[in-house]
Amino acid sequence: MTLSSRMLRPVDPGLVSQALEVAGRLAGDATDVITATAGRGARPTTKESPFDWVTDTDRTLERHTRRVLAAEFPGIPVVGEEYGDDSGAEHAEYRWVVDPVDGTANYVAGIPWCSYSLALVDADGPVVSVVADPYRGQVYSAGRGRGARANGALVRVPECAGTAGAIVCTELTGGDAWPGMARFVERAARAHSGTRILGSSALAVTQVALGHAVAAVLDGYREWDVAGALGIATEAGAVILDRRGRQATLPLDGMLVAAPTVADDVLGWWTGAQEE
């Protein structure tokens, strides 16, 4: 059974509408900037490791996002990858969570697979979510209880008979394979499912909502990597489980996002691979 957004606390409809409009506008701005600059003199530097890129675009988009949100939603703090947490964000009723470029290494290399992610989050998880997929000209969005959309068209996780012949996404953790990752890939292959590591956690989760993949397993990430995509997956009807198999809206220590009919199978691959 999926965790319906209707089981979560209600939110002022006016706030949801305003947040969807502003977040969509910011996603459009990010799409323009990313497509205009990707792979062309992005002037990258590194943070914690040689593969942990940060660029002028990351910083510029996050500053722009923060300026717009401060003007439109005064009093709601922002949590971002490049500039950290606003004062009081941890205990605020609502907070904005932004990742200006998820998949920065792909962006630097000019590989067409990165995203902009923004979510309004409360204690129950994402309230409003937007993920921009610049290279495909798509903006995915969701509001609690309002469904998930791709460029305005409603999307739902399609029914699937099983994992055979299907795609399962995962991602590295901090540039490294996570414990049991090779065994997970082997288990998926034995079930005739293909595993893909594409370089953007937000887009990996979004592929499940769109029906391009039947599941995504993320063993490690930060809140800003996934908050936007999880709201979209929830509203599209995906199952979201933590590493112990419990339903959650925003798990922060490993997650499985899956079509409901295959969630148990993929969870078994994941947990079994880590126990071997």
Annotated binding site for Mg(2+): 81, 99, 102, 225
Burial environment of residue 41 by CB neighbours within 10 A (0 to 12, 13 to 18, 19 or more) = exposed
Cβ proximity of 138 and 151 under 8 Å: yes
Report the distance separating Cα 257 and Cα 264, nearest Å: 11
CA angle (253 as vertex; 212, 73 as ends), nearest 5: 80
Token reading at 21? 């409009």
Task: List the beta bridge partners of residue 247.
Answer: 241
Nearest to 61 by CA among 224, 263, 259: 224
Q: What are the φ and ψ backbone dihedral angles of 42, each rounded to 5 degrees?
A: -75, -10
What stretches of the chain show up as alpha helix (H) in DSSP?
13-37, 56-72, 104-109, 181-190, 201-210, 223-236, 263-275
For residue 246, the one-letter residue type is R
Annotated binding-site residues read: 81, 99, 102, 225
Cβ proximity of 55 and 104 under 8 Å: yes
3-state secondary structure 218-236: ECCCCHHHHHHHHHHHHHH
